Amino acid sequence: MAEPFETTVVGSMPKPPWLYNQVPLDTKGFDHHGAGSDWLLSGEALQNAQDDAVRLAVYDQETAGVRIISDGEQRRKTYLTYVTSQLGGFDYETLAEKWIRDGRRLAQVGRCTGPVEWFSPIVVNDLRFLLTNTTSPVKVTLPGPMTVIDSTFDAYYGDERSFAMAVADAINKEAKSLDALGPAVIQFDEPVFSRYPEKVAKWGIEALDRCSDGLRAQTAVHVCYSYTIPGVERPIKHSYPQILAELERSQIDQLALEFQAPQLDPALLEFCPSKTILFGCIDNANPEIENAEQIALRLLAAGEHHDPEKIQAAPDCGLTLLTQATARAKLSALFRGAQIALDHLSGQGGSSHGHHYHDH
């Protein structure tokens, strides 16, 4: 079995300031196309710089004690369009306006103007580069169908379910080409699951299972309440009981869940006993560094409601919006907290039962 509280990440790491100009999320016109943010180099120089940024992201994660690492998504302006813009059927030249994230905000989004198709590998070379620069187990991320649909204006399918299944089939082809290289985890990012529990039940799980069909790697899904944006409400919809019960019946092996920022009750984990949980105990929006002792208490509290061997310590979400120094310090606190929690478990003969730790 896995060691309890193994540390991992959700995906993104901050980009170095010499590589990328990151604009704040409340900049006018900011959207899922990374409007306003841009690379500081171009051509071959950009490729070499992105390679170096990946090496740095690997170093930063490994040095902080992260066991299952990513490439920090250093080549992606956004986690979503990096993939969808290379599929057939998407138009990012002529954008459309659309309310996204359950009416949370009005955004400029790309359009689906034809059948969604996968032509050739999209992130395979990125994964190949990562694997040649580390011996750690690695994860690679892809956007999930419901989040792709929520972030796109549908001018072709006219039916969410059909659009979702087409996206799922394309994402599955990409996932299979990644799987051939031997990553430890392939993760599908579905932040919008938290916003649409009814759709999750109707077709979200079916689409997710289609994405993960036939893969050898462990599969994960990431669910969160999306980025904190200054001046935009971030309602915490109490959807976890519903969506976790639905995810329990999916084929997905791991659920990466936000718990820290909204301070959700770890008892929610009782809805998904069979899954490995990437338990969010680092806030990706607040620059304050979490206390290792508090992280340990949160993990031990989670271990009251779920098998600790199926709990991994993780951030709530990607760390891309933090500074590099803050991200490093947070990951280090995450590792230390996981070590404290593990030592505590070992001190009890490996079982968390019998001692109840309440996180105040």
CB 211 within 8 A of CB 176: no
Write down the residue that tokens 């580069």 correspond to: 129
Question: For 56, phi and psi rounded to 5 degrees?
Answer: -70, -40
List pLDDT tens digits, range 147-185.
999 999 999 999 999 999 999 999 999 999 999 999 999
The answer to whether residue 357 sits within a structural domain is no
List the Cα angle 66/8/78 in 5-degree steps.
110
Tally of domains in the chain: 1
List pLDDT tens digits, range 240-292.
999 999 999 999 999 999 999 999 999 999 999 999 999 999 999 999 999 99
Other CB atoms within 10 A of residue 119 CB: 10
The answer to whether residue 74 sits within a structural domain is yes
Write down the residue that tokens 């899922």 correspond to: 32
170, 124, 144: which is closest to 222 by C-alpha?
Answer: 144
CATH number at 163 reads: 3.20.20.210
The answer to whether residue 304 sits within a structural domain is yes
Range of the domain at 313: 6-347
The answer to whether residue 169 sits within a structural domain is yes
Taking only Cα atoms into account, the Rg of the chain, rounded to an integer number of angstroms, comes to: 19
Q: Averaged over 95-119, what is the pLDDT?
A: 94
The answer to whether residue 355 sits within a structural domain is no
The answer to whether residue 145 sits within a structural domain is yes
The answer to whether residue 356 sits within a structural domain is no
The answer to whether residue 334 sits within a structural domain is yes
What is the pTM assigned to this prediction? 0.93
State the SS3 of 196-260: CHHHHHHHHHHHHHHHCCCCCCEEEEEECCCCCCCCCCCCCCCCHHHHHHHHHCCCCCEEEECCC
